[in-house]
Structure 1
Amino acid sequence: MEFDTIAAISTPMGEGAISIVRLSGNDAIPIADKIFSGVAGKKLKDAPSHTIHYGKIIDPKTAGVVEEVMASVMKGPKTFTREDVVEINCHGGLVSVNRVLQLVLANGARLAEPGEFTKRAFLNGRIDLSQAEAVMDLIRAKTDKAVNNAIGQMEGRLSKLVKKLRQEILEVVAHIEVNIDYPEYDDVEEMTHRMLKEKGEFIRSELKKLLQTAHQGKILREGLSTAIIGRPNVGKSSLLNSLVQENKAIVTDVPGTTRDVIEEYVNVRGVPLRLVDTAGIRETEDIVERIGVERSRKVLKDADLILLVVNAAEPLSPEDEKLFEAVKGFDTIVILNKSDRPQKVNLERVRELAGDAKMIGTSLLHDEGVDELENTIASMYFEGQLEESDMTYVSNSRHIALLTQALQAIEDVLNGIKMGTPIDIIQIDLTRTWELLGEIIGDTVQESLLNQLFSQFCLGK
């Protein structure tokens, strides 16, 4: 498979110590040599692979010096894309790195599409599709645990499990095919419903194990959407600031200070929370505050976890009771704030309204109760399993959907066996299971899906 030579800036745009222009393709080294002037006229094509060289970038048209650089030469196939790769390390800065990129493009390279370097790694067999998707998961990871999960996926932890299951299915399908096409072969054992049932139950069990990790895996990848709600001036913004450990939200004694939704990511015991501080939900005549309240109600509907803050130093109000009604059916933690003051809230009524929701007392003014809250959140969603570093968490929505469909297909196989359906008919659902698992690692996948997946990547990755 042959590709043209692509190039892009692979470091974030902006001022920094170093910016990198990356080239990949058969002409990566010749193109770089057109603009690179090494010590004593040394050419990159003569350099050993995986070496770095000092020199200057020269504009061939003017012979003027554009940049002072270090150029890394990596010859395929021992590179990320399995093609020749050159990385030009420039001084950080928008102007300098763009000048180098423009020279590279003017001398024969094409600007890479988003994710095209990783796409080439996949198409050239360097990684499979699930490993390619894990690259983006690693970039977007918000906690150490999410990073570890992404690294495990990049190393092929999920791929190995999927390939093992596909091989099991393939052996059964091949066995059935031999029985059908060559019935005269007496030395090949005939596949029976009993044998097929044993294999089908094993595959179903393995798929269920993978899907059991899906909820936690998706949280690690996307973050737990967490809404902080409550009446105005009960301590919602103080809670946000305590969890984030920064003064992100304005805290005053004036009700209605928070007029809009404030969103922030926070790492709670390895669990990434997409934390949303909402405007206090109440009836108001203030037009701006009313808009904030409406946005708060929308956030509430989309939340995975709700932190309902109640002022323990005041009796419950009708507004508090309405909020308890609004969060029924959601994962909720009730936070009784201002516990350092004399308690006026009716605890029995709070317990009655909270139902199965967990309750925690806090004094956010004195930073008390936050550790207990963090431990409660972690235990609610991972129950200690997060510490198992060798565990494979399925985190990608596409993978979860395909595993769910594969599980349904293997259920159809087992139902067919139960009903006494001929084995050659059951084989259709078995083959379907094999194909669905193949889509996870990219063995059976359409080009349009590949384009859509890699378009979500960073430019230059």
Structure 2
Amino acid sequence: MEDTIAAVATAYGEGGIGIIRISGEEALPILQEIFEFHGDTDTFTSRRMTYGKIIDKEKNQIIDEVLAVYMKGPKTYTAEDVVEINCHGSMVSLRKTLALVLRKGARLAEPGEFTKRAFLNGRLDLSQAEAVIDMIRAKTDKSFDVAVSQLEGRLSLKVEEIRQKLLDLLVDITVNIDYPDEDIEEMTYEKLEESIVETQDMIEKLLETSSTGKMIREGIKIAIVGKPNVGKSSLMNGLLKETRAIVTDIPGTTRDTIEEVLSIRNIPVYLVDTAGIRETSDKVEKMGIEKSKEAFNQADFILFLLDGSRSLEEEDLQIMEFLKERKCLVLINKRDLGEAISIEEISAKLPASQVIEASLLKGQGITEIEDAVEDLVYGGEIVQKESMMVNNVRHIELLQQAVKSLTDALHMSERREALDFIEVDVKNAYERLGEIIGETVSDDIINEVFARFCLGK
């Protein structure tokens, strides 16, 4: 924390601008040592861009023409003095400028160290800091909105509200344990249980959003399965809104899994078009079928295609055996060519699955598929931009641990056990919630969180 740190804050590669970020007590002195002012200005004013050149005075060499800005702490991202040097977006310029900054006394920042300093200096709590990396990695508008909500502190405020209730409860328990003879309100087991249940309900309401939040953050993996030549490649092309898979009437054309990333209704989706599952003597096709089965097992959701112009065949029935315990949407494709399969017939064999009719070559059925994916993620609930969701695995685990501790406390209260034992579990729940926002978290966890960040952030 005593060091002045520096790093390239923009993505590597060619661009209009590349930024070197410096944070720490020596940020301004380092800038003054390597910067040559242009015109009459010879001082830096906080939060004002200044035009000039970066000079390596030892070599009497101009490195780049730049715009530099000095921002005085604590009202900065890291709550320290910060300098940003806007170079031309050349890797050579950035590399030379950063090397000069390091030579003048800064050290290279570790991944996420700027945000880590913002956390350690009290500008962000830990959940807000984690939201920064979620914003950077967001693949859809919705996942970005959820990250922004968390960065604004909505989750933190809710966690703080729950922790305050637990703190009030801990105070009541402690007072009743330590000062039983004083003129204070008695903590009855009935009142204790009421407080525990109320707090537990608040945590569980947060956890109810976790499944949706996690899908929005990490995306869902959807496997397209079916026997050869039922329209799997046409489906993939339809969802992608472009031709990416070869479509022919020759069975076995797709010999390997084809994976694409797309957004369906602002939900990140990893779409896997699998080779048709059938018996074959072709070694290459057989390898593709094995990869299809692996993708099938790893998928969160299955799109199962049937050829509606032909009656069910052995290959269809074999795939259905695998689908009985899976989340699945069945598409009866090629409806324009015939009605050899009925919705009722499929529903009888796969009662838990949704069945729709489609003609993918004509673009029919794509909207219904998108509706089904959206319903899978949101559970039929109205999607609200302002809604708060828990989408971080670490947060979900801590919330679950808090619920377990409160459940244990409730069971002890129902058995009328000593308040000392109940206090331990209530305190555990309080501390687990504190780990979400960084109030009661170890250095190892903090280091692990920020190790996932990129350099320069």
Instruction: Say which of 150, 153, 174 aligns to 2:150.
Output: 153
Moved more, 377-386 or 272-281: 377-386
> Within 5 Å, which residues of 2 pair with 1:156-235?
156-186=153-183, 188-235=184-231
Of 94, 97, 101, the residue aligned with 1:97 is 94
For 2:437, give the aligned amino acid. Answer: I
Question: 2:94 & 2:223 partners in 1: Cα distance?
Answer: 41
More deviation in 430-439 or 447-456? 447-456
Which of 344, 353, 372 is the matching residue for 1:376?
372
In the alignment, which residue of structure 1 is the partner of 2:22? 23
Displacement after TM superposition at 1:338 (Å): 1.7
- Taking a change above 3 Å as real, the CA distance of residues 284 and 42 of structure 1, as seen in their structure-2 partners, is farther
Question: The residue matched to 1:351 in structure 2 has which SS?
Answer: helix
Look up the equivalent residue of 1:99 and give its one-letter code. K
1:239 and 2:238 correspond: no
Tell me by how many angstroms 1:339 deviates.
1.8
C-alpha RMSD of the superposition: 1.7
Q: Is the counterpart of residue 123 in structure 1 residue 123 in structure 2?
A: no
Instruction: Tell me the TM-score normalized by structure 2.
Output: 0.96
Cα distance per residue 1:62-101 (max 9 Å; x no partner): 1211111111221111111111111111112222222222
Is 1:275 the counterpart of 2:271? The answer is yes
The question of 1:142 aligning with 2:136 is answered no
| 1:291-347 C-alpha deviation (Å, 9 max, x unpaired) | 222222111112111111112122222111111111221110001122222233355
Task: Say whether the 8 Å CA contact 1:399–1:440 is kept in structure 2.
Answer: yes
| In structure 2, C-alpha distance between the alignment counterparts of 1:10 and 1:287, rounded to whole Å | 49
Residue identity in the other structure for 1:454 = F
Among residues 84, 103, 106, which one is paired with 1:106 in the alignment? 103
The TM-score with structure 1 as length reference comes to 0.95
| Structure 1 pair 222–248 and aligned structure 2 pair: CA distance change class (3 A) | same
Q: Matched residues in 2 for 1:352 and 1:275: separation?
A: 27
Q: CA deviation at 1:152?
A: 0.6
Which ranges of structure 2 fall in alignment gaps of 5 or more residues?
Answer: none
Q: 2:440 aligns with which of 444, 448, 451?
A: 444
**Cα distance, 1:178 vs structure 2:** 2.4
User: In the aligned structure 2, how far is the partner of 1:254 from the partner of 1:108?
Assistant: 67
Which range is displaced more, 272-281 or 124-133?
272-281
Matched to 1:58, the amino acid is I
Contact 1:316–1:346 (Cα < 8 Å) also in 2: no
Which residue of structure 1 aligns with residue 2 of structure 2?
3
Post-superposition offset of 1:386: 4.7
The C-alpha deviation readout for 1:29-49, integer Å capped at 9, x for no partner, is: 211222221224745xx4222
Return the letter of the residue paired with 1:153: Q
C-alpha deviation, 1:5, in angstroms = 1.3
Q: Give the conservation status (yes or no) of the 8 Å contact 2:225–2:276.
A: yes
Change (3 A) 1:228 1:415: same
What SS does the aligned partner of 2:268 have?
A: strand
Match of 2:352 in 1: 356
Decide which of 45, 58, 62 is 2:59's aligned counterpart: 62
Cα distance in 2 for partners of 1:134, 1:140 equals 10
Please give the alpha-carbon distance, in whole angstroms, between the structure 1 residues aligned to 2:235 and 2:241: 9
Query: Distance in 1 between the 2:20 and 2:444 partners?
Result: 28
1:250 matched to 2:246? yes
**How far apart, in 1, do the equivalents of 2:346 and 2:66 lie?**
66
Shift in Å, 1:154: 0.6
Quote the offset at 1:183 in angstroms: 3.7
Q: Does the C-alpha gap of structure 1 residues 105 and 261 become closer, same or farther in structure 2, counting only changes over 3 Å?
A: farther
Say if 2:294 is the partner of 1:298. yes
CA contact (8 A) 2:343 2:355 kept: no
Where does 1:291-370 land on structure 2 (aligned, <5 Å)?
A: 291-345=287-341, 347-370=343-366
The 3 A distance-change label for structure 1 pair 249 and 41 is farther
Structure 1 unpaired stretches of 5+: none
Query: Does the aligned pair in 1 maintain the 2:346–2:355 contact within 8 Å?
Result: no
Q: Tell me how far 1:274 sits from its aligned partner.
A: 1.8
Q: 256-265 or 145-154, which moves further after superposition? A: 256-265
Rounded Cα–Cα distance in structure 1 between residues aligned with 2:97 and 2:254: 46
CA pair 295-161 structure 1, distance change in 2 beyond 3 A? same
C-alpha change, 1:288 and 1:209, in structure 2 (3 Å) is same
Deviation (angstroms), 1:231 = 1.5
